[in-house]
Amino acid sequence: MSTDEHEKNTSGSGDGHGLPWEDRPEGCVDVVWRYSANPIIPRDAIPCANSIFNSAVVPFGAGFAGVFRVDDKRRMQQLHAGFSADAIGWDINPDPIQFTTDEPELAGFEYGYDPRVCWIDDRYYVTWCNGYHGPTIGVAWTQDFKTFHQLENAFLPFNRNGVMFPRKIGGNFAMLSRPSDTGHTPFGDIFYSESPDLCYWGRHRHMMGTTTGWQETKIGAGPIPIETSEGWLLIYHGVLASCNGFVYSFGAALLDLEQPWKVLYRTEPYLLAPQTLYECVGDVPNVVFPCAALADPDTGRLAIYYGGADTVTCLAFAYVDELIAFTMNNSVPTRV
Ligand code: BMA
């Protein structure tokens, strides 16, 4: 698909471009609100699935496409492609993605989870947590969501939450990631890295660490950052260690446009925390985990896709302008 075709889907007609939307419920004062018909994807949408969650969607052709995290009934973590006309009802391929590569070292797919999809120039890049002697960041590109060309892993193990920027920064590809360990990591800051060629990554910069409350234990980038006049709008997850285990919520930050490792603002309160049945009850209770957002530049509407309780896929809404204002007005002190 050409750049023009992609832009046709992300800017233009002023009618919301078919993005999912539901007005803020009456009486709701929150800056982010849930879709009333959540979850949009049940755990058993395809026969092999134990659960379908933490997934990424993008505009594609006249509709939408996505890469879905499917934990199968063997409890292996797989990635599946899917298509949709309205970005709510999804037709998910029952067979996992088979990545193509000429590099034998990359060929044996161990496991993959928490995908993100990012349009840059003329193709979609997929990043995911890729099993290679421990979790690291896998990278591939596609133009049709049928053939996926795998590139080199971006980093050494152990790393998670690789999220690319939708344009080059200072002439280089740019990615956020969260160095971690082999297990249920009890720490984690977000780092920024650049690459001239998507093979060699460097210029690593510390971007943001943990603070208190909902983001006291570890944090990780969520959807692809959204470029705004006030900076990159980054939605990210944060983890609190309760006496009953980890609690995953999400908030937002604004990053400097040309030096994105400089955090201008970040929310002290969360935007969304696990509170509904489908967020509090499932294979891993008390998890909301955002991996994608669809933005309409004309209406300012934002549709945020997140996993609920490591089991189902859910949708929430916001206005980009309100999110920016909220982030600025409810920020913890940053170092900038
Ligand atoms: C993280 C990732 C996510 C998951 C979360 C809660 O480490 O594995 O995929 O949603 O834990 O279990």
Q: What is the pLDDT of residues 138-148, one digit of tens each?
A: 999 999 999 99
309-335 b/e (C-beta count within 10 Å ≥ 16 → b): bbbbbbbbbbbbeebbebbeebbbeee
pLDDT of residue 183: 87
pLDDT of residue 333: 80
pLDDT of residue 17: 61
Is the separation of the CB atoms in 241 and 216 below 8 Å?
A: yes
Q: Would you state the structure tokens that stand for residue 334, as one six-digit string?
A: 């940053």
On the question of pLDDT at 13 being above 90, the answer is no
Q: Would you state the structure tokens that stand for residue 309, as one six-digit string?
A: 């309780």
pLDDT of residue 334: 74
Could you report the per-residue pLDDT of 164-222, keeping only the tens digit for each?
999 999 999 999 999 999 888 999 999 999 999 999 999 999 999 999 999 999 999 99
Cα 14 to middle of ligand 1, angstroms: 36
The helix (H) or strand (E) run that includes residue 4 is helix 3-10
Q: Would you state the structure tokens that stand for residue 293, as one six-digit string?
A: 């957002």
Amino acid making up residue 46: I
Residue nearest to atom 1 of ligand 1 (CA): 184
Cα 299 to middle of ligand 1, angstroms: 32
Cα 188 to middle of ligand 1, angstroms: 13
Probe target for ligand 1 pocket from 128, 158, 244, 287, with the most ligand atoms within 8 Å of CB: 287
Can you spell out the DSSP letters for 117-133? EEEETTEEEEEEEEESS
CA-based nearest residue to 67, from 2, 138, 167: 138
Cα 185 to middle of ligand 1, angstroms: 10
Q: Would you state the structure tokens that stand for residue 179, as one six-digit string?
A: 């160095």
Is the separation of the CB atoms in 39 and 52 below 8 Å?
A: no
The pTM for the full model equals 0.94
The whole-angstrom separation of Cα 93 and Cα 95 is 5
- Residues of the chain with pLDDT > 90, as a percent, come to 92
Q: In the structure, what pLDDT confidence band is assigned to residue 5 with cuts at 50, 70 and 90? A: very low
Q: Residue 326 — φ and ψ, nearest 5°?
A: -65, -45
pLDDT of residue 4: 40
Report the atom number in ligand 1 closest to the C-alpha of 289: 10
Note the Cα 181 to chain centre separation in Å: 20
Q: Would you state the structure tokens that stand for residue 90, as one six-digit string?
A: 């999804």
Mean pLDDT, the chain, whole residue set: 94
On the question of pLDDT at 133 being above 70, the answer is yes
Cα 334 to middle of ligand 1, angstroms: 26
Average pLDDT over residues 232-260: 98
Report the atom number in ligand 1 closest to the C-alpha of 310: 10
Of the ranges 4-13, 126-135, 261-270, 288-297, which one carries the lowest mean pLDDT score? Answer: 4-13
Does 296 sit in the ligand 1 pocket, CB within 6 Å?
no
- Kindly report the length of the chain: 336
Residue nearest to atom 4 of ligand 1 (CA): 310
More confident residue, 16 or 111: 111
The whole-angstrom separation of Cα 141 and Cα 216 is 34
Sheet holding 148-150, edge to edge: 99-100, 148-150, 135-142, 123-131, 112-120
Q: How far is CA 172 from CA 108, 163, 194, in A?
A: 29, 14, 6
Average pLDDT over residues 66-74: 98
On the question of pLDDT at 120 being above 50, the answer is yes
Could you report the per-residue pLDDT of 78-108, keeping only the tens digit for each?
999 999 999 999 999 999 999 999 999 999 9
Report the atom number in ligand 1 closest to the C-alpha of 185: 7
Report the atom number in ligand 1 closest to the C-alpha of 246: 6
Can you spell out the DSSP letters for 175-233? EEEEE--SSS-S---EEEEEESSSS--EEEEEEE---SGGGSSEEEE-SPPEEETTEEE
Does 115 sit in the ligand 1 pocket, CB within 6 Å?
no
Of the ranges 14-23, 91-100, 144-153, 291-300, which one carries the lowest mean pLDDT score? Answer: 14-23
Instruction: Give the sign of the dihedral formed by CA 280, CA 282, CA 285, CA 289.
Output: negative
- H helix count then E strand count, the chain: 4, 22
Q: In the structure, what pLDDT confidence band is assigned to residue 335 with cuts at 50, 70 and 90? A: low
On the question of pLDDT at 237 being above 80, the answer is yes
Contacts 24+ apart (CB under 8 A), 73-82: 73/48, 73/49, 75/50, 76/111, 77/111, 77/112, 77/113, 77/131, 78/111, 78/112, 79/112, 79/113, 79/115, 79/126, 79/128, 80/46, 81/145, 81/146, 81/148, 82/145
On the question of pLDDT at 57 being above 70, the answer is yes
Peptide bond before 285: cis, by omega within 30 degrees of 0? no
Side-chain half-sphere exposure of 335, counting CA atoms within 13 A: 8
